[in-house]
Structure 1
Amino acid sequence: MQMNDYDAIILGAGGAGLLCAATAGQRGRRVLVIDHADAPGKKILISGGGRCNFTNVNAHGAFVTERYISANAHFARSAMDRFTPRDFIALVEAHGIAYHEKTLGQLFCDGSARQIVAMLLSECDKAISHGGHVDIALSCAIGEVRHSDGRYHVRYGNKQASAPSLVIATGGPSIPKMGASGFAYDLARQFGLKIAEPRPALVPLTLGGEDVMLRELSGVSADVAVRCGKANFREAALLTHKGLSGPAILQVSSYWRHGQPIGINFLPDEEPGWLCRMKREKPRSNVKAALGGHLSARLAETLADKIGLAGNLADAPDRRLQEAEAQISDWRFLPNGTEGYAKAEVTAGGIATDGLSQKTMEARKMPGLFAIGEAVDVTGWLGGYNFQWAWASGVAAGQAV
């Protein structure tokens, strides 16, 4: 069996792995990247509707502890303060990639996500001019991984490679149809690292029981505020034939646990007392018409029916209208689950941060072993936050291998 020696072996040719390889290669390191897929950056290619929401301008500073979920809320701060959205944007601009900002600080390519993958591969190619090189082995199933004599030995296909540094960048089990799995966790456990329980995140929620009747509204969306515990998001929600989706729901799903209710404010812009004021201004109006001024006719009719106020507003006492307002502003749903890893954009949980250096991503008790990106227990909000974590953690490890 052919044996090749490298300075670092990176398992996974996604965003984190490729930028880690480019960073290390441009430091003169000989790097091997191994992936089972037939092309690099496959999750990048499908992200953002094919245009890649490659970062968020707010993914830095104090926002890191607020907008990333981890057992250690401060773990990501070190890497992300040293490689910020501005740093990645500078790289994008240096490669002549046109981009634009959508809502809430989200940056997308004007053209195609393929430009981001091409940029990362080009950065890997630059290693040669710095005395290093990056080899990328695709369509290779990873076999035995072991550690002996201060080196990590990896079997892939009919080859074997060894290096003093090994980087786990294989992500989590979200989107299994693309080959995603829990391989990173198995490998981490093999070397004594702990795992924070993985779960689907940024994922649609499913409904049962009395809420099943809402399935007839499949395809209806509304601008709402969604709450789960202390988490609160103001974006669009979408009713589906299985339950609830849309950006606001995906956001809150990362915080949701089985048995927890979520509350939806269907009219987040209305001040308390709005229904009583409408009673005085338009006494012959009704709840359905009041809701219809803000929501789709189908949604307004369904909510009005469930509230049970069919007559004119003038016929309802203020106390009853206040109760209706309270229900509309905090409509409770009890999800019975999620649509699982198949529809999850990312995986929450993962390789526990207490076993890693926040500066380098290296395992504290296993020298030369690193973990980066989605494989680690750091999960960002929807809107480019997870890519920025991939870039920052990849650079942190690339500077250390």
Structure 2
Amino acid sequence: MSADVVIVGMGYVGLPLAQEAARQGLSVIGFDIKQDVVDGLNAGRSHIDDLAESDIQRMLEAGFRASTDESVLAEAPAVVVCVPTPLARDGAPDLGAVTGAVSTIARNLRPGMLVVLESTTWPGTTEEIVRPVLEEGGLTVGSDISLAFSPERIDPGNRTYGVRNTPKVVGGVTPACTERATAFYQRFIDTVVPAKGSREAETAKLLENTYRHINIALVNEMARFCHELGIDLWNVIDLAATKPFGFQAFYPGPGVGGHCIPIDPNYLSYTVRTRLGYPFRFVELAQEVNSSMPAYVARRAQDILNEDAKALRGSRVLLLGVTYKRNIADQRESPAVPLAEYLQEWGAEVSFHDPAVATWNLPDGPLERVPDLAEAVAGADLVILVQNHDAYDVEALAESARSFFDTRGVTTSSQTHRL
């Protein structure tokens, strides 16, 4: 079973990439080590938010197939690696999935093959980690095979920008590798942007998310002192955003989540510390600020209840929206988890509602979604809007709540508490 490309890793990055490639006429095989994922895809089932089962069905009709058989790699002229790169306990990137995938590719490597790494990692990974493994069998990058890095830019839930119309940065280990990878992506992506090399492409992805990380930390810190000074930060941001140049609006919240912003900047910080011996202070301070927001929200909740002559201990607190981003089911690194932990540790009776989550897996055990949202809101001592899903009529919910804490700045009533 041959294909134009084998995409390794059928998750939030690999599956949308496979969809777009298949949609543009490429023959695509999705390789994954999880048999249940492969079986589900071949049966037309989707396991990520951005693709419905109808999307998977159309992919299958276009010739897409998923497989756990690594021999499919040997038949493809191009292989793209889209596997997770989480943080290890010491803050270093965990490249276990990358090295495992590359070793599998190396066993099936043949002359003329293009290998592209899309998994976010620290600068130098493509040249220093991936290249030696691929060359162990005697084939040389740049002459026998091509190797490049192209950072994924998947934004789950974004209905405006997807794989095809988001510019694709591509950096090869050699100029010839860049040309080969560029030509490959141009077959199904509108705009491909060649980088000087793989290190520049790797660092570009880290800069993108570090920029967001730092600016979110800025407004999160401003939220604290603006509250103390009696200043409406949400109005401040709206006012600043009227300037047609020199300002981009960022908004505070209960913390940051997802697979990029809480994780990726640490790769850059780790590289600077381990290779150069000094800290990347902006990133480390931003991490400190953003990671402290769930505790800050919990303290604000305690203060709000105190204003109502209630203690947090024993109070019923309902959390609305526990995913890391609105209108998706993805819970990776969601700040709702540490927020719930703080509230429970301080004695609150925590319940939750989320239209996309039926069972919420917390460190202390699973929590089931409240069966009746209206009843739960009316019965809670405090309702906290953690994620503003479109399914919520927030103004109506705030109106029916005894006390409502809006961490997303979307309510207009003077009776609600805002971050």
TM-score range, shorter chain: under 0.3
Higher strand residue share = 1
Q: How does the TM-score come out when normalised to structure 2?
A: 0.25
Q: How does the TM-score come out when normalised to structure 1?
A: 0.26
Higher relative contact order (CA 8 A, sep 6+): 1
